């Protein structure tokens, strides 16, 4: 049994401060390889290697093992530490969908490199994340593509009875596990229905399901996003309990309140808020915008903590929360629509922190339907704070009991 991480470093460009080793304002290329090592060295147990919406170095395993050999001899990739690809979604990427094949092709090569490094069979990459998962069929097709188009390639016949494996070696692992990433309100509250067919057919030793917290907040409002995650956790635990399958949810959470509020000073509250989550993303702002001693202390505390038992809701409670979330979403969109033009103008002025292509994530699909045009969640939140809108002028009447007025904040209600 390999490690099930409590902490995952991601490449989200939400940091205000640029780390000294980056060599410029944009972290890209070789700097991201160094960043992966530094994330591990500060105690983070998993690094998400992101091929969605950006160019990714598929030789990352070779570079890590050769440049930091002393470290990885004591901390084995694939056992003590995890490196997990986030794939491009081929149903949404258009011209870049063959990047999926390029990324998957690198998995057997990484296994060869790691096996040579450790002197025995080693599989550093065996799980991949599929963003914006919408059906079990998508998960199954990618799994089968890897098994039949990549892992089975060693069986190809060459000349005189020789097989491809005689020329280039075996292709390992023979299969990979898919981590579905659910990124919008409908996918979160419908998680059990989306995933049941896949896990019933595949029956892996355990399931890891990735729940987004930031993109749903931008698309549907913060309160709707929080409630959707709570409903998703309840329904997922009940689903996997029926199938007698352990589940280890991942929560994609940022540092600003609108995006989840996970900072070194707030980790205990966030862990308690999202009971049942096993792995928390520590995005760039968490790692670079706070004192190193505070960051490493929080990482150590999260790693050593035990996941809180999930909050299992009654069916009527789940339905009530979904209804409340829908009302919150309507109120949120009424307030965001008039701001869209100003938000887009300010977002364009924010400094870039990663070399990313135009977004092909959850909110981009709403844009194509003409609902609302907004930037990515990080730029959206940054623009609002830059405009002075952590607190807005929309509020409820003063309480007759206290005489205080409640103001609606992007971080939630604030008594003023």
- Quick one: 117 and 21 in the same domain? yes
Q: What is the mean pLDDT of residues 104-114?
A: 97
Q: 15-55: per-residue pLDDT in tens?
A: 999 998 988 898 888 999 999 999 999 999 999 999 887 78
In a domain, 391, yes or no: yes
Give 171's pLDDT tier (boundaries 50, 70, 90): very high
Specify the pLDDT at position 1.
61
Q: pLDDT exceeding 90 applies to what percent of the chain?
A: 76
Per-residue DSSP letter, 329: H
Does the pLDDT value for residue 406 go beyond 80?
no
Same domain (yes/no): 300, 327: no
Whether 293 and 325 share a structural domain: no
Boundary-marking domain end, from 304, 331, 356: 304
Instruction: Note whether residue 45 is domain-resident.
Output: yes
183 & 332 share domain: no
CA distance 106 to 265: 38
Mean pLDDT of the region 370-390: 82
Q: Give me the pLDDT at residue 54, please.
A: 79
Assess whether 40 and 134 both reside in one domain: yes
- DSSP annotation string for 134-190: --HHHHHHHHHHIIIIIGGGGG-B-STT-BHHHHH---S-S--EEEEEE-SHHHHHT
Residues 191 and 323 in one domain: no
User: Is residue 281 situated within a structural domain?
Assistant: yes
Of 246, 275, 304, which residue constitutes the final position of a domain? 304
Q: Residue 335's CB: how many other CB atoms inside 10 A?
A: 12
Which is higher by pLDDT, 370 or 163? 163
The CATH code of the domain that includes 102 is: 3.20.20.60
Q: Which two tokens stand for residue 305?
A: 């903590």
Q: In what order do the strands lie in the sheet with 412-415?
A: 391-395, 406-409, 412-415
Domain end position, chosen among 269, 304, 339:
304
What is the 8-class DSSP label of residue 247? Answer: B
Distances (CA, A) of 352 to 13, 15, 292, 301, 325: 7, 10, 22, 31, 32
Question: What is Dmax (Cα atoms) for the chain?
Answer: 90
Minimum mean pLDDT among 48-62, 170-184, 220-234: which range? 48-62
User: Residue 189 phi/psi, 5° resolution?
Assistant: -75, -20
What are the tens digits of pLDDT across the range 317-367? 999 999 999 999 999 999 888 999 999 999 999 989 987 765 444 444 343
**Among 139-148, 157-166, 229-238, where is mean pLDDT lowest?**
157-166
In a domain, 51, yes or no: yes
Mean pLDDT value across the chain? 89
Q: Which domain holds residue 328?
A: 315-415
Residues 176 and 64 in one domain: yes
Is the pLDDT assigned to residue 404 strictly greater than 70? no
Looking at the structure, do residues 230 and 278 belong to the same domain, yes or no? yes
Residue 309 inside a domain? The answer is no
Residues 111 and 162 in one domain: yes
Residue 387 vs residue 39, higher pLDDT: 39
Together in a domain, 293 and 330: no
How many CA atoms does the CB half-sphere of 295 hold within 13 Å?
20
89 within domain boundaries: yes
The verdict on residue 377 lying in a domain is yes
Tell me whether residue 39 is in a domain. yes
Which band of pLDDT confidence, cut at 50, 70 and 90, is reported for residue 94?
Answer: confident
Mean pLDDT computed over 270-297:
97
Burial per residue of 354-391, b for 16 or more beta-carbon CB atoms within 10 angstroms, e otherwise: bebeebbbbbbbbeeeeeeebbbbbbbbbbbeeeebbe
One domain for residues 179 and 284: yes
Classified as helix, coil or strand, 29 is: coil
**Are residues 267 and 325 both part of a single domain?**
no
Interacting residues of 218 by C-beta distance below 8 A, sequence separation 6+: 258, 363, 374, 376, 377, 380, 381
Cis peptide before 173 (omega within 30 of 0): yes
Overall number of domains in the chain: 2
With a cut of 90, say whether residue 398 has pLDDT above it.
no
pTM listed for this prediction: 0.90
Closest by Cα among 151, 167, 148, 147 to 159: 167
**Model confidence band, residue 389 (pLDDT cutoffs 50, 70, 90):** confident
């Amino acid at each position: 049994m390999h490690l099930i991480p409590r902490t995952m470093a991601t490449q989200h460009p939400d940091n205000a401060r640029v780390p000294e080793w980056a060599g410029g304002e944009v972290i890209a290329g070789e700097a991201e390889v160094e960043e992966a090592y530094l994330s591990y060295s500060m105690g983070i147990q998993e690094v998400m290697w992101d091929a969605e919406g950006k160019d990714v170095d598929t030789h990352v395993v070779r570079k890590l093992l050769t440049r930091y050999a002393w470290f990885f001899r004591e901390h084995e990739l694939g056992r003590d530490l995890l490196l997990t690809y986030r794939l491009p979604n081929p149903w949404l990427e258009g011209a870049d969908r063959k990047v999926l094949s390029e990324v998957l092709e690198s998995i057997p090569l990484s296994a060869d490199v790691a096996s040579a490094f450790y002197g025995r069979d080693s599989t550093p990459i065996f799980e991949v994340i599929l963003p914006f998962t919408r059906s079990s069929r998508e998960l199954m097709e990618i799994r089968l593509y890897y098994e039949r188009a990549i892992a089975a390639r060693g069986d190809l016949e060459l000349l005189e009875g020789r097989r491809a494996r005689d020329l280039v070696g075996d292709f390992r692992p023979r299969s990979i596990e898919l981590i579905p990433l659910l990124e919008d309100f409908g996918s979160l509250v419908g998680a059990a229905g989306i995933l049941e067919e896949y896990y019933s057919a595949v029956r892996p030793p355990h399931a890891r399901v990735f729940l987004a917290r930031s993109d749903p907040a931008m698309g549907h409002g913060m309160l709707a996003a929080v409630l959707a995650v709570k409903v998703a956790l309840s329904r997922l635990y009940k689903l996997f309990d029926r199938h007698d399958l352990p589940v280890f949810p991942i929560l994609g959470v940022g540092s600003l309140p609108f995006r989840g509020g996970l900072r070194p000073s707030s980790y205990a509250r966030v862990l308690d808020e999202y009971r049942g989550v096993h792995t928390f993303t520590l995005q760039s702002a968490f790692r670079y915008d706070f004192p190193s001693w505070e960051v490493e202390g929080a990482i150590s505390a999260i790693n050593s903590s035990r996941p809180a038992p999930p909050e299992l809701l009654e069916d009527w409670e789940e339905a009530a929360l979904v209804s409340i979330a829908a009302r919150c979403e309507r109120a949120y969109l009424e307030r965001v629509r008039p701001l869209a033009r100003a938000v887009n103008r300010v977002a364009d002025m924010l400094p870039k922190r990663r070399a990313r292509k135009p977004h092909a994530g959850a909110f981009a699909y709403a844009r194509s339907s003409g609902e609302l045009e907004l930037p990515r969640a990080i730029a959206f939140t940054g623009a609002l704070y830059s405009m002075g809108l952590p607190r807005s002028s929309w509020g409820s009447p003063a309480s007759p009991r206290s005489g205080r007025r409640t103001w609606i904040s992007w971080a939630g209600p604030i008594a003023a």
